[in-house]
């Protein structure tokens, strides 16, 4: 995983050819010799709608043995500006840069925190394997060359279908590993992540005005679906969690971690065996941020069913907590290593206001299948007194 600027950033699929792919492998795995590149064309599922995604097959050999690599090149694409009103090109470019840095800098750092005697698989960090990622400030283009997860049996569960219990446990377990590894990195290095990574985003904090406009549109959709919920609507109309997020980030009493910050169903890919989810990858790391662990959790829960949110929540949070502590290790000295399950549950409730705000950003067109469950979830959060 390299971020060299010596390899040109392709502007289109025509630039993804044998010489260019060979350069990528010269950095990623010098023993690989690429003989042919077969472009399969654009894809959409699994690694984002905000970019051009070009699937291709690189054929070659390593140490005399033939190999075939199913890959995807994720390229900067400004066409999405036509559909996202609150995002300008100036806002968008840092997202591409942040994702390139996440794969080229943060993922190797997360892998490095394991003891030298421990054999570490790249699967420990539950994201697509990235062979090359970089941004070119001159052309304002970025590229990430990653495994094509779809060819490995991974897929996104089509929204608005909610995740089931097994899928939720896999998803929160993956978050726990990212959160835990990032906290281990801070403890071992003694350097806070914002000081280590100047590319971490505070997008949700700086775009208060734009997010407010999107929230108002989402609120209209919610109000159209539930016109009789007058007390709840009066509460939601006044909701603005951007200051609340800002306060949480600035609160020194709350531990922060490397957060996905956009972890909902469409950014999660599962692998299934006999209809059961067995593996997971978190994709679309364009908003890596420094936030509380429960930020990712409440956003994820807000897109699920009432049964998952209310009846299965404790079991899912317990699974997250166990995976978090396992990732942190046995030494109980500071920070998240002292984080109890009760604290996690309390923080989850407190941060649910953020989850409601994020969910309503997508409520301008509310699928009828989700309406009853979402109403019950938001009403319960209101009853908790956090909105």
Per residue in 302-329, pLDDT tens?
Answer: 999 999 999 999 999 999 999 999 999 8
Of 188, 148, 192, 187, whose CA–CA distance to 283 is shortest? 148
Q: How many CA atoms lie within 13 A of 362 on its CB side?
A: 17
pLDDT, tens digit only, all 387 positions of the chain: 444 447 999 988 899 999 999 999 999 999 999 999 999 988 865 445 568 889 999 999 999 999 999 999 999 876 655 666 666 777 788 888 999 999 999 999 999 997 665 666 667 899 999 999 998 878 888 999 999 999 999 999 988 899 999 999 999 999 999 999 999 999 999 999 999 999 999 855 555 666 777 888 899 999 999 999 999 999 999 887 877 777 877 788 899 999 999 999 999 999 999 999 999 999 999 999 999 999 999 999 999 999 999 999 999 999 999 999 999 987 767 789 899 999 999 999 999 999 999 999 888 778 888 899 999 999 999 999 999
Phi, psi of 271 (to 5 degrees): -110, 135
Of 184, 59, 53, whose CA–CA distance to 109 is shortest? 184
Domains of the chain (ranges, CATH numbers):
13-149 (3.30.200.20), 153-384 (3.90.1200.10)
In tens, the pLDDT along 185-237 reads: 999 999 999 999 999 998 555 556 667 778 888 999 999 999 999 999 999 99
Q: How far is it, in rounded angstroms, from Cα 261 to Cα 299?
A: 8
Helices vs. strands in the chain: H and E counts, helices first? 14, 10
Q: Are 301 and 309 in contact (CB under 8 A)?
A: yes
Phi, psi of 276 (to 5 degrees): -110, 135
Q: What is the pLDDT of residue 118?
A: 61
Cα 7 to Cα 4, 27, 104, 287, 344, distances in angstroms: 6, 10, 14, 25, 44
Task: State CA 231 to chain mean position distance.
Answer: 34
């Amino acid at each position: 995983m390299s971020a060299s600027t010596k390899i040109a950033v392709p502007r289109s699929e025509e630039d993804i050819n044998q010489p260019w792919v060979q350069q990528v492998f010269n950095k990623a795995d010098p023993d690989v010799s690429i003989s042919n590149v077969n472009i399969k064309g654009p894809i959409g599922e699994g690694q984002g709608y905000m970019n051009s995604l070009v699937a291709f097959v690189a054929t070659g050999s390593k140490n005399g043995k033939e190999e075939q690599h199913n890959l995807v090149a994720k390229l900067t694409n400004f066409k999405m500006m036509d559909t996202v009103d609150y995002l300008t090109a100036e806002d968008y470019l840092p997202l591409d840069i942040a994702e390139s840095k996440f794969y080229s800098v943060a993922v190797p750092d997360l892998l490095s925190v394991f003891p030298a005697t421990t054999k570490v698989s790249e699967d420990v960090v539950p994201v697509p394997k990235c062979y090359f990622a970089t941004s070119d400030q001159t052309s304002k283009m970025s590229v990430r060359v990653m495994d094509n997860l779809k060819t490995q049996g991974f897929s996104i569960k089509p929204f608005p279908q909610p995740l089931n219990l097994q899928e939720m446990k896999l998803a929160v377990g993956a978050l726990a590993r990212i959160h835990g590894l990032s906290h281990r990195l801070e403890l071992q290095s003694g350097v806070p992540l914002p000081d280590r990574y100047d590319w971490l985003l505070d997008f949700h904090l700086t775009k208060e005005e734009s997010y407010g406009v999107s929230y108002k549109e989402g609120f209209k959709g919610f109000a159209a679906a539930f016109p009789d919920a007058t007390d709840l609507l009066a509460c939601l109309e006044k909701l603005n969690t951007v200051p609340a997020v800002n306060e949480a980030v600035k609160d020194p009493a709350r531990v922060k971690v490397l957060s996905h910050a956009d972890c909902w169903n469409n950014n999660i890919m599962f692998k299934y065996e006999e209809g059961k989810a067995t593996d997971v990858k978190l994709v679309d790391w364009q908003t890596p941020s420094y936030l509380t662990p429960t930020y990712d959790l409440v956003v994820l829960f807000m897109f699920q069913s009432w049964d998952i949110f209310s009846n299965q929540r404790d079991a899912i949070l317990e699974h997250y907590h166990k995976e978090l502590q396992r990732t942190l290790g046995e030494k109980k000295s500071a920070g998240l290593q002292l984080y109890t399950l009760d604290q996690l549950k309390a923080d989850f409730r407190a941060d649910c206001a953020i989850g409601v705000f994020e969910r309503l950003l997508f409520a301008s067109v509310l699928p009828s299948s989700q309406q009853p469950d979402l109403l019950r979830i938001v009403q319960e959060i209101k009853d908790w007194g956090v909105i």
